[in-house]
Amino acid sequence: MAVTLAEAGAQVAAVARSEKAIEETAEIIKAHEGRAIAVPCDVHDTKSVTAMVERVLAEFGQIDVLVNNAGGGDMKPIIEMNEDEWLRIVDLNVNSIFRICKAVGPHMIKRRRGKVINMSSMYGLVGEKNVTAYCASKGAIIQLTRALALEWAEYNITVNALAPGYIYTERTSRVFDNPELRDALTRRVPLGRIGQPVELGPLVVYLASDASDFMTGSVLVIDGGQTAA
- Marked catalytic residue, from 123, 134, 155, 168: 134
Known catalytic residue at 134: yes
The residue among 10, 27, 226 whose CA lies nearest residue 123 is 226
Q: Label residues 9-48 b or e (16+ Cβ within 10 Å = b).
A: ebbbbbbbeeeeebbebbeebeeeebebbbbbbebeeeeb
Strand residue runs (E) in the chain: 12-16, 36-40, 65-68, 114-119, 157-164, 219-222
Q: What is the largest CA-CA distance in the chain?
A: 52
Q: How many residues does the chain have?
A: 229
| CB neighbourhood size of 164 (10 A) | 21
Active site residues: 134
